[in-house]
Structure 1
Amino acid sequence: MNRSPAAGGIPADVVTLGDHERVARDRLSVSAEAYFNGAAADEITCQANRLAWDGLRLQSRVLRPLGGGHTRLTLLGRPLAHPVLLAPVAYQCMAHPDGERATARAAAALQAGMVLSTQSSVALEEVAALVLPEPDHGPLWFQLYLQQDRSHTLALVRRAEAAGYEALVLTVDAPVHGARDRERRVGFRLPAGVTAVNLAGLVPPPALPLPPGGSLLFDGLMPTAATWDDVAWLRAHTRLPLLLKGITHPEDARQAVALGVAGLIVSNHGGRTLDTLPATADLLPAVVRAVAGAVPVLVDGGIRRGTDVFKALALGATAVLVGRPQVHGLAVAGALGVAHVLRLLRDELEIVMALTGCATLDRIDAASLWSPDARSP
């Protein structure tokens, strides 16, 4: 196959997100590849995410008027050019020297929303300074893990507010890391020069003393893990809209709405926390039904094609996020690679919209998916 670089540094045979992943594997270090592409335990959930989108079938429609069609939408009162956002991914400088700087430039250029990780390897203020001056940039959100000391969390919130971030995304499904076997096999360590710079200077509180025969997890870590009370506290201490990422159960969705969150992200953390969770495509419909339109519901996990984006919207999502694909594009060609990933998804989404007779996103619904039980009206 032709691996010679095309104009701008993307190899000529890289024409899909799968191609980006293939080339990225050769360009990432063994340690970085295990970190970005690995998942928890036997990686069953990670694989299921991908297979679930593939398993859904589309229903084509013909001869519908499509002139003037577009992919525009409104999310949290904010106009977006298309429904593809970049999910929070930590330590992107492991994939490319420019790391989150390159991702930010690509997101701004492609009018895509970007969610910056708390564990970014570039300061949140620097990323904001790259995105916000661009006149047509998409929404810029900041992802939070609640720190054990609330003052540390509040310091991060105030920095995000001051820097111009438009919303906070609280990750709630990872009070502890999953059993990431692939990382352990390669002895993963952060390389020199790559750190979670936004957490610099935050000194963790002293470890709790363990009772005799106590558990490091249940007696040491879990007593300070976040609860619904912390969500309520955070809502009361920020002027920014708050979204919860990692919602998979309808009851949790309803409780989040009752606390006044602005949106939900159905996510199983890309299969990186609890293995054998269902795929997000399977979890999404019940969460959408539970909130009954009270807040927008987004979804991530395994999205690799414009058809996947379309299917997510047909299941009730307002928008989608992609995580690993942005890292693959970053490893392949820096900012240009991330921009190429976003452009491919948008182009493919427009193609499937045209072929299913949906000129705009609001025309995409459950009837856009084929069912073997469907009967003619």
Structure 2
Amino acid sequence: MDRYVSVKDIEQAALSLLPKGARDYYKSGATDEQTLAENKLAFQRLRIRPKCLVGVERCDLRTRALGSEVSMPVGISPTAMQRMAHPEGELANARAAQEAGTIFTLSTIATSSIEEVAKAAPTATKWFQLYIYNDREVTRNLVRRAEIAGFKAIALTVDTPLFGIRRADVRNKFTLPPHLRLANFDGHLSTKIQSTDGGSGLNKYVENLFDKSLTWDEVKWLKSITSLPIIAKGVLRGDDAVKAIEAGCSAILVSNHGARQLDGVPASIEALPEIVEAVKGYNVEVYLDGGVLTGTDVFKAIALGAKMVFVGRPALWGLTVGGQAGVKRMLDIFRTELEYTLQIAGTPTIADITRDMVRHESAYSKL
């Protein structure tokens, strides 16, 4: 694993190893993929303003998220069907997060079940990503199982009345390979995605299963059936963040779903400041995912108000090249890069990273 010295190295290796269907599914974004590119480019338009001679004898990356201590402010986002990347899929990913002392988020449409992940990584801090199905009993059962298995939070995806148009999946007529199943379900809900009569099998799968009529009232319903904190995942507007809080959410995950839902929306890092400003005065945490590839990206997001960042595709690339060891290598790269960034920027701890540490490039173009 030592030959990989950047997350980009791991990505390039993974893309050369994955079969076409899985590769295109993992890496693609919505329609023209403008936002997919912007998720990364927007970080490059931010400039770090380092402080000199502040004394950096120690470097402490530890932080807390919803009461759980984590070793660094980088966790793993939910991504679907991880056994396409590696035979152990979500189990290897969760074990790597446990080894690294950070958070693993399990997707509803995973190829390893809630119970399997809990057994594989019993001491990891685990969150469960939830879609609300038309059949509320399906949803209720998923939440109950997550509680019993020791998951610490529910990350409710709020940006998905249906899945966006991902052209690569349409061209490939993407389906889940027949030796795999959606492990959190039984019967047709576990195998329906293995076939399609045209277009993306994933879009066909959710077509009649996800509830398009959802409103913020569903958060109140979710609060009524679980004591776990709820994270609103997929928020890009300040007013939506406030509505999520008023409905009972404990945290906001600023995200454009990996740029896979609607092309032309803001990059996650562009939307972050508006949301941080909107939730001032509320006792909530704000997280971010989308486009995070380096330790400096993490630093910039924290400076703009994120408590933590989460990475999805980098974990898939790590899985592909080396299973648990590959994901751990990816996390170690983030850790090392973030340690260097903190020290060179003159911020020995996460709490020292303040808003004045980062400015947009436009502030310098006027000089």
What TM-score, normalized to structure 1?
A: 0.88
Q: Confirm whether residue 360 of structure 1 aligns to residue 349 of structure 2.
A: yes
Aligned to 2:67: 77
Shift of 1:221: 7.8
Q: Confirm whether residue 244 of structure 1 aligns to residue 261 of structure 2.
A: no
Shift of 1:225: 3.3
Confirm or deny: 8 A CA contact 1:152 1:202 kept in the other structure. no
Aligned to 1:106: 96
Aligned to 2:198: none
Shift of 1:224: 4.6
Separation in structure 2 between the aligned mates of residue 44 and residue 370 of structure 1, nearest angstrom: 23
2:291 to 291, 302, 315: 302
Which secondary structure does the structure 2 equivalent of 1:197 belong to? Answer: coil
Q: Confirm whether residue 274 of structure 1 aligns to residue 241 of structure 2.
A: no
Separation in structure 1 between the aligned mates of residue 39 and residue 63 of structure 2, nearest angstrom: 25
Q: Letter of the aligned partner of 1:88 in structure 2?
A: P
Shift of 1:199: 2.1
* Distance verdict in 2 for CA 1:221–1:331, change over 3 Å: closer
1:90 to 80, 83, 89: 80
* Distance verdict in 2 for CA 1:305–1:161, change over 3 Å: same
Shift of 1:182: 1.1
Which secondary structure does the structure 2 equivalent of 1:332 belong to? Answer: helix
Post-superposition Cα deviations, 1:3-51, rounded to whole Å, max 9, x if no partner, equal xxxxxxx372x21110111000111000000100011101111110000
Post-superposition Cα deviations, 1:258-306, rounded to whole Å, max 9, x if no partner, equal 1221101000001101011110111000000011152000000000000
Confirm or deny: 8 A CA contact 2:28 2:168 kept in the other structure. yes
Q: Letter of the aligned partner of 2:91 in structure 1?
A: R
Confirm or deny: 8 A CA contact 1:118 1:199 kept in the other structure. no
Q: Letter of the aligned partner of 2:168 in structure 1?
A: R
1:15 to 5, 21, 36: 5
**Runs ≥4 in structure 1, deviation > 3 angstroms?**
201-204, 219-225, 370-374
Q: Percent identity?
A: 40
Runs of 5+ consecutive residues of structure 1 not aligned to the other structure? 1-9, 205-215
2:150 to 164, 182, 186: 164
Aligned length: 347
Q: Confirm whether residue 337 of structure 1 aligns to residue 326 of structure 2.
A: yes
2:303 to 314, 320, 324: 314
Q: Confirm whether residue 150 of structure 1 aligns to residue 136 of structure 2.
A: yes
Separation in structure 2 between the aligned mates of residue 147 and residue 223 of structure 1, nearest angstrom: 5
Aligned to 2:195: none
Shift of 1:57: 0.8
Q: Letter of the aligned partner of 1:92 in structure 2?
A: Q
Confirm or deny: 8 A CA contact 1:116 1:141 kept in the other structure. yes
Confirm or deny: 8 A CA contact 2:128 2:146 kept in the other structure. yes
Shift of 1:220: 7.2
* Distance verdict in 2 for CA 1:223–1:325, change over 3 Å: closer
Q: Letter of the aligned partner of 1:338 in structure 2?
A: V
* Distance verdict in 2 for CA 1:26–1:288, change over 3 Å: same
Q: Letter of the aligned partner of 2:317 in structure 1?
A: H
Confirm or deny: 8 A CA contact 1:44 1:276 kept in the other structure. yes
Confirm or deny: 8 A CA contact 1:148 1:225 kept in the other structure. no
Separation in structure 1 between the aligned mates of residue 217 and residue 330 of structure 2, nearest angstrom: 38
